[in-house]
Amino acid sequence: MQHLVDTDNFSDEQIAQLLHDAKRFKHKRPIQLLRDRLLITLFFEASTRTRSSFEVAAKKLGAAVVHLDPSRSSTKKGESLEDTFANLCAMDPDAVIIRHSDNHAPGMLADMHTTPVINAGAGNYAHPTQALLDLFTMIEHFNGNVKGKTIAIVGDIVSSRVASSGIRLFTRMGMHVVLVAPEQFMPESTLPQYKKLEDVIDNVDVIMSLRAQLERHEEELFEDYADYAAQYCISKERMQDRDILLLHPGPVMRNIDISDEMLEDPRCKVLTQVKNGVYMRMAILKLLLLDS
Ligand code: CP
């Protein structure tokens, strides 16, 4: 039984297989490889992209999906996460896809060894399917190879599970990762760190902008987000005509993370990331449910 808690659950060969399958699925809709399979989604935090992307991916492959809404479940009556999971597993799903605010929740459920667990985002620790779809988007853009490319991750890095998983995966793939953030948003890291994007922008191939995750801050870190945006918003003035791929996992805070104008710019691939997410999640479901 294979789980996806973070991308280190996959070997290099499996990551190569995922990239190959995602590309194949993008160009030709596959037969219903997962007909008669059943997935349960269990999202304890809000989601637009990840939940719907998993459902679309599963349905394109012929699988059925059942969603349990924790706000209307027996969690409200005090049932523990482990007991909720054990009860769902008793219904014999082929995998459970979970998002949770606790960094350790997917790993803890995986350790129960009852049903494959797929991490759809855990605290600020890991969001492996986002990292894999971002890798797929970059590999597609750079015609098959990202080794030696430099990505600047810009914004609220310390709160971001997208950054955590991305840093681990992108460095493993041979990319150079640099971090750009104000002190309040900078994690402890041995990676190169910059307070100003201007100090490194001429040396980067990719910028990944991140949302300021207000809901994870115990106290207000900035008095005024206009001050933050003045320094970190990815605007046309900041990008000029540089040949830089612009990514963001969403949801984008317009004119704080990325300007309206840059969101319309062909260098910005936010919706390509969303599209590629479906094909990458199809590849992940195939690998975990069929190939493992
Ligand atoms: N990128 C991402 O995880 O978006 P959602 O929170 O909408 O799923």
Average pLDDT value for residue range 62-91: 94
Find out whether the beta carbon of 47 lies less than 6 Å from any atom of ligand 1: yes
Find out whether the beta carbon of 128 lies less than 6 Å from any atom of ligand 1: no
pLDDT of 179: 98
pLDDT of 184: 86
What order of strands is seen across the sheet that includes strand 95-100?
Answer: 64-68, 38-43, 95-100, 117-122
Find out whether the beta carbon of 250 lies less than 6 Å from any atom of ligand 1: yes
For residue 152, give the 3-state DSSP assignment: strand
Percent of the chain scoring above 90 in pLDDT: 89
User: 105 CA distance to ligand 1 centroid (A)?
Assistant: 18
Ligand 1 atom nearest residue 127's Cα:
3
**Residue 76 reports pLDDT greater than 90:** no
Region of residue 153 (phi > 0: left; psi between -120 and 50: alpha; otherwise: beta): beta
**Residue 105 reports pLDDT greater than 90:** yes
Find out whether the beta carbon of 49 lies less than 6 Å from any atom of ligand 1: yes
User: 269 CA distance to ligand 1 centroid (A)?
Assistant: 15
Structural domains in the chain plus CATH codes: 7-126+277-291 (3.40.50.1370), 129-273 (3.40.50.1370)
pLDDT of 206: 98
Kindly report the average pLDDT of the chain as a whole number.
95
pLDDT of 292: 81
Outline where DSSP puts E strands in the chain.
38-43, 64-68, 95-100, 117-122, 150-154, 176-180, 193-194, 206-209, 245-247
Instruction: List Cα–Cα distances, 231 to 58, 158, 234, in angstroms.
Output: 40, 18, 9
Contacts of 98 (CB under 8 A, 6+ apart): 41, 42, 43, 44, 85, 105, 106, 109, 117, 118, 119, 120, 122
Q: Whose CA is nearest to atom 5 of ligand 1?
A: 47
Q: Which amino acid is at 92?
A: D
Ligand 1 atom nearest residue 48's Cα:
7
Q: Whose CA is nearest to atom 6 of ligand 1?
A: 47
Average pLDDT value for residue range 64-85: 93
User: 285 CA distance to ligand 1 centroid (A)?
Assistant: 18
Burial of residue 12 (CB within 10 Å: 0-12, 13-18, 19+) is: exposed
Q: pLDDT tens for residues 125-159?
A: 999 999 999 999 999 999 999 999 999 999 999 99
pLDDT of 216: 62
For residue 21, give the 3-state DSSP assignment: helix
Contacts of 248 (CB under 8 A, 6+ apart): 208, 209, 210, 211, 257, 258, 268, 270, 273
Q: pLDDT tens for residues 256-283?
A: 999 999 999 999 999 999 999 999 999 9
pLDDT of 214: 62
Q: Which amino acid is at 203?
A: N
pLDDT of 60: 97
Ligand 1 atom nearest residue 121's Cα:
3
Q: pLDDT tens for residues 179-229?
A: 999 988 999 999 999 999 999 999 999 999 999 776 666 666 677 778 889
For residue 250, give the 3-state DSSP assignment: coil
User: 53 CA distance to ligand 1 centroid (A)?
Assistant: 9
Q: Which amino acid is at 125?
A: Y
Question: How many residues in the chain?
Answer: 292
Banded pLDDT at 40 (limits 50, 70, 90):
very high
pLDDT of 3: 98
